[in-house]
Amino acid sequence: MTLDPSLASLKPFLAKYGRLAGALHAEAMCARWDLTLEAFGEGLRRSAQKRFAGAQSDPSSVEAYLKSLHLEDLALACACTAGNEKAWESFIAHFRQDLRVAASAMLRGSGRADDARAEELADSLYAELYGVRQGEDGRRKSLFEYFHGRSKLGTWLRAVLAQKQVDQFRTTGKNVSFDAEEDGESPRVLAGRLETLPTNLDPDRARYVRRFDRALADALASLTPRERIILACYYADELTLAEIGRMVHEHESTISRQLERTRRALRESVSQALQRGSPGVDGRAAEAGLDAAQIEMAFEYALEDSPLDLSKALSAPGPAGELPKP
């Protein structure tokens, strides 16, 4: 799908959406920052271009999207990108304290709460926001150019801070878990399960485990992304139900019920698949269903201490839809 040509550059964009851009320009109170319609329009265009890159875009969708933006924040960001002093002062006045508080909260989570560190982390963003690097055209490249108004400016700033903090953590060799105390623990190696199986046991073991893995892959494919993320957050990240709820905007009781349902669904799905057996497909021989005792053995063997490889299982997008765009 090619990009809508009206989003490719400013002139065709204003030709098609100029009236809306004018209204949004007024609504965003761009006059405060002496921000021209062209400058603000360029911000709107880049936002729509990013949103609809590779996707179908009809004028009504684009207009609805542009109206949903946080216009005042976008105007401020555009004005700061342009180097407007008043805009920059307003940005500092409104966001500096909040950024420092956010930085402090982030550092507290990593056990490094410290006013000086928090200030350093927050202030480290300012240089990038102002733009210390030059682009290919010699123009100052500001981090504000990556803000497109889909979220509030404050939230976006905190997300940038969070990414910086997490990436810094990861590159210094710390454990992925943000507040982990597992220093020195080597990352778990992802390995195919069959390579780690002991060989001196039940000769049917390998067969049971293979069938179990296939059943599990089918069961996983039927999980929604929400169910998968809850499983990962609860078991891998060891978050509380409340923390997971805050991340995905659900009440913790809802998360608890969803987790319960997901666990039950996984077990039932795998049990039923093992009981059903499988027809011969893709060159594989047909397999008869297992009885209760054999299913029990399959669970026993499969859940012993050996890693599961879910890469293939999770290469299917699940019922939610297409793979996310880069």
Residues 52-91 that bind other proteins (CB under 8 A): 68, 70, 72
Q: What is the number of residues in the chain?
A: 326
Asked if 297 touches other proteins (CB under 8 A), the answer is no
Strand, coil or helix: 193: helix
Options 9-17, 199-207, 274-282, 300-308: segment touching other proteins (CB under 8 A): 300-308
CB 310 within 8 A of CB 220: yes
Asked if 224 touches other proteins (CB under 8 A), the answer is yes
Asked if 97 touches other proteins (CB under 8 A), the answer is yes
- Residue 14 or 71 with smaller CB distance to other proteins: 71
CB 318 within 8 A of CB 224: yes
Amino acid letter at 184? G
- Residue 16 or 174 with smaller CB distance to other proteins: 174
- Residue 26 or 248 with smaller CB distance to other proteins: 248
How far apart CA 72 and CA 29 sit, in angstroms, is 7
The pair of structure tokens assigned to 120 is 């350093």
Instruction: Give the per-residue contact string, 132-151, with other proteins (x = CB under 8 A; - = no).
Output: --------------xxx-xx
Candidate list 216, 255, 273, 290; residue touching other proteins; CB under 8 A: 216
- Residue 14 or 262 with smaller CB distance to other proteins: 262
- Residue 41 or 158 with smaller CB distance to other proteins: 158
* Nearest Cα residue to 36 out of 73, 66, 79, 70: 79
| Minimal distance, residue 201 CB to other proteins, in Å | 19
Q: How many CB atoms lie within 10 A of CB 247?
A: 14
- Residue 6 or 258 with smaller CB distance to other proteins: 258
Options 35-43, 79-87, 104-112, 126-134: segment touching other proteins (CB under 8 A): 104-112
The pair of structure tokens assigned to 47 is 């936002």
| Minimal distance, residue 135 CB to other proteins, in Å | 18
- Total residues in contact with other proteins, by rule CB under 8 A: 93
Among the residues of the chain, which ranges form H helices?
10-27, 37-51, 59-67, 71-81, 85-109, 115-130, 153-171, 193-196, 205-221, 225-231, 241-248, 252-276, 292-302, 311-315
Options 4-12, 36-44, 258-266, 276-284: segment touching other proteins (CB under 8 A): 258-266
Residue 288, CB half-sphere, CA atoms under 13 Å: how many?
Answer: 4
- Residue 11 or 170 with smaller CB distance to other proteins: 170
Question: CA distances (Å), 212 to each of 114, 190, 196, 204, 243, in order?
Answer: 50, 19, 16, 12, 32
Options 6-14, 36-44, 264-272, 280-288: segment touching other proteins (CB under 8 A): 264-272
- Residue 37 or 160 with smaller CB distance to other proteins: 160
Candidate list 3, 10, 37, 162; residue touching other proteins; CB under 8 A: 162
Asked if 8 touches other proteins (CB under 8 A), the answer is no
How far apart CA 269 and CA 221 sit, in angstroms, is 11
